Amino acid sequence: MKSVLSLPNLIKLSMKFQTPIYAPNSQLLASGHRPPHVQVRRGYFHDISEEGQDALNVNPSAIRTFLTTQNIDFKQGFTCYSAACTQCRKCQNPTAKKAKIFINSATGSFNCSECTWSGTWKQFEAVVDAFQHGDPADSEKNAVHSRLRGLDDASEAAEEERRLTHCLTSLSAAEFADLVKLHQIQGLKMSTLMELGVQVYSNKRDLFFPRYHSNQNQCCGYKRMIVRELPEETVITEQIFPKEAGVLGLFGWNLIPKKATELVITSNEFDAMIIRQETGKPVVALPKGISLLPVEALPLLEQFSKIVLWLDGSGNRSWQAAKIFSRKLDEKRCHLVSPELCPTRALNAFQSGTEVNGIILKARPVSHKSVVTFGSFRSDVLNELTNREDFSGLRWQRFPALNRILKGHRRGELTVLTGPTGSGKTTFLSEYSLDLCNQGVKKLLIPHDEWHGQVRNSFLSSATDTVGQF
């Protein structure tokens, strides 16, 4: 019997998840019970077929080779390769000198920080050669412009949705208190919600959360929390836009400083707001909770040297998601708030009297500085092997053969020279060291089995021969 679950068919499968997004309080969450009058659901659809196909054919070495053969200067970051974008009229403008294309080192997917040109690695390969010659094919032009129009359309739709909402100041004190009680967000101030752009719909119950991407002044999507009254319960559901494709954006990105080096990532907007309110730290919320870390968001996060992940602490699934996300973000810069450190979400922790800032400061690094795994240095070794000249040390002036073997004198490297008695080890090391001394390198000789006078004489003899050559 022939199996229909071949690899191509598996890649084309789509994933659907339906999980709760928050519990009203930490005690009920720990006991596994939920009050009968409030039920929270999340549903979304994500097509991974295109990303999966690209991931099978792309690796960091292939990306570097292609960029090098196309004479594209690039820099390697935590998760992406960056290069100057000259692919559209907007980036060719002299005012757009800082425009960069970010290429994901794992999947090859890319996007531009200025013109928001984006796509898969196959599309980049197909387009870049034509753009290098200054006359891309009409079909490729249309593909690029359609993507740009798609983002513009999403931004316009998000702005139209925002116009249907009202500022929180339009609520009376009693109405805002009812809103806080309904969404179980006791402790959050109205000023915090307003700072992050949260607005309320006309029914005074639904909330609007804007999301941003590279343009911090224009939202590219939104989330609406919809409150529905059923005969026996109140249900809160999420409506996410864009739903299946497009740039999802990050909640809170509009407040991130350009020079910030530390960031906190949460899986819930309310958690992000309480962290912002209590610590003032840069913080963002993922658009689909613990289920997805958008690939297009990775270039935005390149500026941060430290990232703290504090996801929904309601079980092992969120802990596993945090570890998966840290691998995508580069474990070297990631710190995790583990269930042992804090078993609940940030908002629940605050409501129970826990100091939020103290939890963040105690977040544990994912990788230990004294523990090295093969995966952590595999790319470094490959990079050194493929770019040997870039890793060469100070070259000897009189030993070209030695330069070819050892690639010069490199800091932190130990070279052991062995041979029988009288083979010329001391004489060679004298010449070796004298060559480097003439180039300003300080040397320390510690003879173990020879009288220091013999070593001195060997050096003097080598120095005399060197001076005689001039």
Give the model confidence (pLDDT) of 418-468 as tens digits.
888 888 887 787 787 888 887 777 777 776 665 556 666 666 666 555 544
Q: Please, which pLDDT band fits residue 186 given cuts at 50, 70 and 90?
A: very high
pLDDT at residue 183, as a whole number? 94
Task: Give the DSSP letter of residue 166.
Answer: B
Backbone φ, ψ for residue 243 (5° rounding): -85, -55
Strands 219-229 and 262-266, by their bridges, are: unpaired
Please state whether beta strands 207-212 and 199-200 pair in parallel, antiparallel, or not at all (unpaired).
Answer: antiparallel
| Cβ atoms of residues 99 and 349 within 8 Å | no
Q: Which pLDDT belongs to residue 281? A: 95
**Res. 180 pLDDT band, cuts 50 70 90:** very high
Highest mean pLDDT among 104-118, 119-133, 269-283: 269-283
Average model confidence (pLDDT) for the chain?
76
pTM for the model stands at: 0.65
Nearest alpha carbon to residue 352 among 184, 133, 143, 221: 184
pLDDT tens, position by position, 248-301: 889 999 999 989 999 999 999 999 999 999 999 999 999 988 888 888 888 889
Model pLDDT for residues 57-76, shown as the tens digit of each residue: 678 888 888 888 888 888 88
Q: Three-class SS string for 327-391?
A: HHHCHHHEEECCCCCCCCCHHHHHHCCCCHHHHHHCCEECCCCCCCCHHHHHHHHHHHHHCHHHH
Tell me which of 320 and 347 has the higher pLDDT: 347
- Which residues, 6+ apart, have CB-to-CB distance to 222 below 8 Å? 158, 161, 162, 208, 209, 210, 211, 240, 241
* Virtual torsion, Cα 13, 18, 22, 27, nearest 10 deg: -120
Task: Let me know: does 397 contact 439? Beta carbons within 8 Å.
Answer: yes
Sheet holding 38-41, edge to edge: 38-41, 234-241, 219-229, 207-212, 199-200
Contacts of 357 (CB under 8 A, 6+ apart): 278, 279, 281
pLDDT band at 409 (very low <50, low <70, confident <90, very high): confident
Kindly report, residue by residue over 85-103, the tens digit of the pLDDT: 765 555 555 555 566 788 8
For the ranges 119-133, 391-405, 431-445, the lowest mean pLDDT is seen at: 119-133
Does the pLDDT of residue 216 top 60, yes or no? yes
- CA contacts within 13 A on the Cβ side of 358: 7
Query: Can you give the length of the chain in residues?
Result: 470
Residue 133 DSSP class: T
Quick one: pLDDT at residue 67?
Answer: 85
The pLDDT score that the predictor gives to residue 112 is 77
CB atoms near residue 82 (< 10 Å): 18
- Pairwise CA distance, residues 234 & 143, whole Å: 44
| Residue 72 CB-density burial (10 A; 0-12 exposed, 13-18 middle, 19+ buried) | middle
- The confidence score (pLDDT) of residue 130 equals 58
Per-residue confidence at 133, pLDDT binned at 50, 70, 90? Answer: low
> Using CA atoms, how far apart are residues 152 and 159, in angstroms rounded to an integer?
11
What are the pLDDT digits (tens) for 26-64?
A: 343 334 444 444 545 444 333 334 444 455 567 888 888
Q: What pLDDT, on the 0 to 100 scale, is given for residue 34?
A: 43
Give the whole-number percent of the chain exceeding pLDDT 90.
29
Per DSSP, the three-state class of 454 is helix
- Provide the percentage of residues in the chain whose pLDDT is more than 70: 67
Overall average pLDDT of the 335-351 stretch: 90
Question: 76 has which bridge partners?
Answer: 81
pLDDT value, residue 7: 39
Mean pLDDT of 393-415: 78
**How would residue 209 be classed by pLDDT, with cut points 50, 70 and 90?**
very high
Average the pLDDT over each of 106-110, 154-158, 367-371 and give the range with the smallest value.
367-371
Q: For 16-52, give the DSSP string.
A: EEE-----S-HHHHHHT---TTEEEE-EEEEE-HHHH
What Rg, from alpha-carbon coordinates, does the chain have?
A: 29
User: How distant is the alpha carbon of residue 305 from its chain centre?
Assistant: 10
What pLDDT score was predicted for residue 454?
Answer: 63
What's the pLDDT score for residue 101?
82
pLDDT for 404 beyond 90: no
